[in-house]
Structures are given as structure tokens and as C-alpha cells.
Amino acid sequence: MDDLTEEMQAALVAASRDASPVRGLTHGYYKYPARFSAVFASAAIKAFTQPGDLVLDPHVGGGTTLVEALACGREAVGVDISSLAEFITNVKCTVYSEGELETLEAWSKKIGAVVDIHKPSTALTDYEQLGYYKHLDHPSRWRLRKAIEQSIAAAIKLGTPRLEAFGRCVVLRSAQWALDGRSKRATIDGFRRTLEETADDMVNGARNLRRSVRNHGRQQPVTILRRSAIGIHDEPSLNDMRAPHLVVTSPPYPGVHVLYHRWQVDGRKEAPLPFMIANKLDGAGLSYYTMGDRKYPGLKTYFDNITGSMSSVAALADHDTVVVQMVAFSAPDWQLPRYLEAMEAAGLAEMRLPVLKGDRDGRLWRSVPGRRWYSAQRGTTPGSQEVVLFHRKVRQPSAASAAVSDRAAR
């Protein structure tokens, strides 16, 4: 970390503590829970990489890291176990042609008129049979159900997989506004208006991303893998991948309740609707996405999983790779030391920013603005504080690290 100038370090600190909402480029396509700070991701990419370098995010979530890497002219690889994260990140990172953007712009101007409760809609029968219509089948929601079905049909009629995915993402974001965590039911007029505004904003975001990419000349490749990060060092599609210059990520947080895979309708009624709208299938419950049940004693499953995933990251890295993580804890007094032990077992050594020497514990802490966790309804909690951790690969891996890497490979 001593190779960073004081000015670069100060820029990282300021970016980490930036309280502005996540916006710009394609970041507004969907409000993914616990969204990573785009300002910080951009600052880290600019501080630790050069154009053309490879950036890896092994817990890609809503795709913030990959969007910023793409916009900065860096190659990017993202990994996530969630098919919803894969869908959202793919749409956010698609650089549409001018012809595609013209098609989407024309579509955005008429999408609101598609919603007409006096006209029929086509039910997504397979998803309905699998229970994805949960809480949308209530008699009070037949209008909204019809509006969502009509909007999805309009997205499908765009005719190509890339354009359909964009259209579905418009519906996804609009339906999230209408259903997720609302205390008052949305009206059909409100949904129609949100569809139009969302489509327009997303087209503008796509144009801005295209412009940023073109400013860097040749578009760098973006690879998105839907799988566990454990074992990615043996992933066949990454066999020829060079070592990432930067790993920047925000993994699931130990002991913090985050609904990555559900919306909450009418209070705490969980609904898998986002997967249906994205034309994806859900996984296997909350612990599937959070690397372990937060009620498991000592969070052993979580720490075993984070050690395994970061061991695979270390196996892909070289000694020049910088690993940057933004993490929060429900009980930082014991969870942070345990997390650092897991990083050590994975073969990663912690570094500190020299400019923070003497500041608190010497680490980079930030308060989280607008945290959308349901625990946050009680006010400021330990989970509303995040710490940015910096690591590099240990030059001489310990026997424990070698054993963990071997287990992850098996």
C-alpha cells in the first residue's frame, strides 16, 4: 500500500465514505440489496489498475464492479451463485449498438400503453405452477398481475435475447417499485408511469455506458459466471485467464439478514417474483445466497465458505494482485477478527492505508447510507457500518492455507 500516493489514498478514503445514492451509467437498472458503492468501486479500479488490466469480482451481486470496470476500459470477470444476479449483471454490462438503442428508445415511448386492464394477458403457466406467483394471486392484485404479464409479453416481442433481457429488466425494476417493501399499494397508473420513466432512464444509462466504453477505444471483454466462487481457480472457462490485477468485491455479510432472492410483499411476505420476471429459477433458500444460516453456531458454515471462496481467489491471484473487500458485521467485535483469520487461512495478508494510521483501528470504516436491510428498521445497527479490507497474496502460503485450497479444489 506504500506505493499509493497520499493523494490516491485520500481519494480512496473519500470515495468509500461518499454518501450519494448509487446512480449513473447502468447502476439504476435494479435496486439490488446491499448495493456496492459505485463511487468506491470506480476509485479502487483507478487506484490499483491501468486500462486493459483484469478486474475480478467473485461475489458480483448487482454487477457494480463490472459496470465500472467496463466503463474504465478494464477487462472484467464476475462470479455469483444467483441466477438473478447473473441476469441483472448481464443486462447492465451489455453495450448496445446504436440501432438497438434506437429500437429500445422507440419501445420505451409506448411501453406504458401496453398496460390495459381491459385487454387480456397471458399467464406464465410454468412459473405459476412452481409457486412464483405467490402473493400476486391475491384478489386485490389481479390488475397488477395483468399489468406485469402484459409488460413481459411486450419485452418478449422485442425479438432478440439482448433486447428482451433489457425489456424484462424494465419490468423487473418497475415491479420492484410496485411491490417490494411498500406500505401502500401501487396503482395501475403509477405502475404504467414507472414503466415509462424506468425505460427512458435505462435507455439513457445504456447510452452513457456505450459512450464511456467508446472513449477507451476497444471494448474490453466481460465474463459473468453463475456458480459458487469456491473452486473458480479450476473453472474450465478461466483456464487461460491471466492473474487479476485487482479483486474488488462485497461478499455476503456474516450474521446480517439480507434478502438477495426475495421481495417482501405486504410486510414480511416473501415472494420469488423477481426470478419469474427475469425468466430465471430461484435457488435453495436464504442460506444458499448468504453462504450459511446466520443462526448457525459461530457462523461456522459462513466462515468455511468464505475461506473456500477466497482461497480460490488467492489461487487465481499473483503477488501483485490487490484484494479489496467491503464487509459489514452483525457483531463486529468477534466477527471481524474471525473474518481476518479466514482471510489468513485463505492465503491472504492484510494491508492498511498509511494515511489511516492512528485513525480508529487503522482500517477504513464507512457508514452505510440508506441501507435496505430489514434489520435497519430498528435504526442504526452494527450492520450499517462497513469496513474496507485490503489484502495481498501471502508469498509463502501456510500449511493451513494449502489445506483449505486443497479442500476447496475437491
Residue range 267-314, pLDDT digits in tens: 778 888 999 999 999 866 555 667 766 666 788 999 999 999 999 999
Q: Contact, 365 vs 79, CB < 8 A?
A: no
pLDDT tier at 259, thresholds 50, 70, 90:
confident
Instruction: Give me 158's grid cell.
Output: 422485442
Would you say how long the chain is, in residues?
410
Q: In the block, which residue shows the cell 487506484?
A: 47
Please give the average per-residue pLDDT across 349-378, as a whole number.
74
* Tens-place pLDDT, residues 101-110: 999 999 999 9
Please give the average per-residue pLDDT across 375-396, as a whole number.
70
In the chain, the percentage of residues whose pLDDT exceeds 70 is 88
| CA 15 vs CA 2, 29, 31, 45, 186: distances in Å | 19, 22, 20, 12, 35
H/E segment holding residue 150: helix 142-156
**Cα atoms in the Cβ-side hemisphere of radius 13 Å centred on 208:** 15
pLDDT at 1: 72
Residue 230 has pLDDT above 90, yes or no: yes
Of 21-35, 222-236, 242-256, 330-344, the range with the lowest mean pLDDT is 21-35
Chain centroid to Cα 125, Å, comes to 29
pLDDT tier at 380, thresholds 50, 70, 90:
very low
Instruction: Give me 255's grid cell.
Output: 450474521
Buried b (16+ CB within 10 A) or exposed e, 202-213: bbbbbbebbebb
* Tens-place pLDDT, residues 150-179: 999 999 999 999 999 999 999 999 999 999
- The Cα 178–Cα 171 span in angstroms is 10
Q: Contact, 234 vs 409, CB < 8 A?
A: yes
Residue 116 has pLDDT above 70, yes or no: yes
Instruction: Give me 329's grid cell.
Output: 458485521
pLDDT tier at 225, thresholds 50, 70, 90:
very high
Residue 377 has pLDDT above 50, yes or no: no
Q: In the block, which residue shows the cell 430489514?
A: 374
Please give the average per-residue pLDDT across 397-409, as a whole number.
50
Q: Contact, 10 vs 290, CB < 8 A?
A: no
| CA 53 vs CA 38, 142, 242, 376: distances in Å | 19, 50, 9, 37
**How crowded is residue 297: how many other Cβ atoms within 10 Å of its Cβ?**
7
pLDDT at 32: 85
pLDDT at 119: 95
H/E segment holding residue 78: strand 75-80
Residue 407 has pLDDT above 70, yes or no: no
Specify the 3-state DSSP secondary structure of 35: coil
pLDDT tier at 376, thresholds 50, 70, 90:
very low
pLDDT tier at 403, thresholds 50, 70, 90:
low
